[in-house]
A and B are shown apart, each in its own frame.
Chain A
Amino acid sequence: MRRSVALTAIATIGLTGSVFASQIAPENVTFVDDIEVPISLTGQAGDAAKGREWYAGRKLGNCLACHATTDLNELPFHGEVGPAMDGVADRYEEAQLRAILVNSKKVFGDQTIMPGFYVVNPGARTAGDFQGQTIMSAQQIEDVIAYLKTLTE
């Protein structure tokens, strides 16, 4: 009985990507001083190669839309709304990168244009398919963090 209740609870989390029992739900992410999220969202190591894909993918992170990145020079159309990500690993700790990705507004304030990638229904009128969904899954966030950590100068 206890087992089936636990399974139901996991099933109803309904996030994109794989769901691990140890995964931290968006509403349960713990920020330290509003600038750090020290604990991995999944307990699984991030995959930098996959993170590079999510970072560039238009339907996923689409980070490149705003952040120019020399490491991705093979791709066209780097944005300039946000700062370039070259050397970002020298500027931020892993826990800070996680905090920024999960909910940039905690770190930079409400005025930032940057979306929170692990927040549910932040804006009004969220379209049907995206209601209750985060932009990236917990594991995708960890993968992107792993990728960002390779961007040293």
Chain B
Amino acid sequence: MKCGGKGSLRWGAGLALASLLVGAGAAYGEPNDNKLVIDGQTLTTEAAAPEGVELDKLYSGWRFRSPETQELQTDDFENPAMVAVDQGAELWGTVDGSAGKSCMSCHGEAEASMKGVRAGYPKWSDKRGKPHTLETQINECRTDRMEADAWKWESSNMLGMTAFVGLQSRGMPVKVQTDGPMAQWHAKGKELYFTRVGQLNMSCANCHQENYGKMIRADHLSQGHINGFPVYRLKWGGLGSSHRRFKGCMENIRATPFKRGSDEFVALELYLASRGAGLSVETPSVRN
């Protein structure tokens, strides 16, 4: 390759230069080998691919980010998502709605009761006859138990709460149910993952399964795992849900996106969670 290309810049000596490099072929190539350690806890950013997933190995999206972005996630004082987590923590203990309850009224301290919860969502709900995402579960608590108004999917309250609840599972392996009543949702999500859409006629798999690790213009393609959501995205300047990210991807390929919370995106979220089974929950993660 004449124009620089892979190998012209390697992790290590070239790190300081990486953020300055704007020339052709400023390729990062493979996921880097950095270790994600937060507060002394080592998170799993690399795991064997689950059965049926055509990847040699799973890599968290963290491994594809620049060292500068990575560092923001390794220190909770630097992590810009922690403001939202604090907001979630406050909401946890705040009474709202005509039943006079807060989350804490039923669940007690989140550090104990919410441990592991994020890792298992989306989760089947007999009551709904379909899977719950963390967002819909929170809203069911709000409307049915607290008799409070539901929050909007992408509201700062919802993002703060999903970030706060998610943090209680940080470091635990993602593990969602894909059998029983979840099987057809999983199958639907898989179908969507491989369906080409939009004027650019691409599927999720085209980029995130077949071309991860490569640069697509200024973006370093990851495997598209969702173990860090809600994520603080530098491009957004704030937190966003996985469904917001799905919507952005679909718009990029000039397709009409599904709606946040739609059956399609719930199925896709389930399938993506299952593809990333074994990676640590990183909520709240930081990406560019």
Contact = CB atoms under 8 A, between A and B. Distances in A.
Interface of A: 58, 62, 64-66, 68-70, 72-73, 75-81, 84, 86, 113, 115-116, 119, 121-130, 133, 135
Contact of A127 (B26, B196, B221, B256): B256
B199 to A, nearest CB: 4
B251 A127 contact: yes
Contact of B202 (A86, A113, A121): A113
A57 B22 CA distance: 17
Given A122-B201, A127-B199, A113 B207 contact: yes
Nearest to A72: B24
Given A79-B214, A80-B214, A127-B199, A69 B24 contact: yes
A112 B81 CA distance: 38
B206 interface: yes
Interface residues of B, number: 35
B200 A135 contact: yes
B238 interface: no
A9 to B, nearest CB: 24
B254 A130 contact: yes
A79 B256 contact: no
Interface in B1-56: 1-3, 5-6, 22-27
Nearest to A76: B22
B22 A77 contact: yes
B21 to A, nearest CB: 8
A123 B253 contact: yes
Given A76-B22, A76-B23, A123 B199 contact: yes
A130 B278 CA distance: 39
A123 B26 contact: no
B201 A123 contact: yes
Contacts of A80: 5-6, 25, 27, 214-215
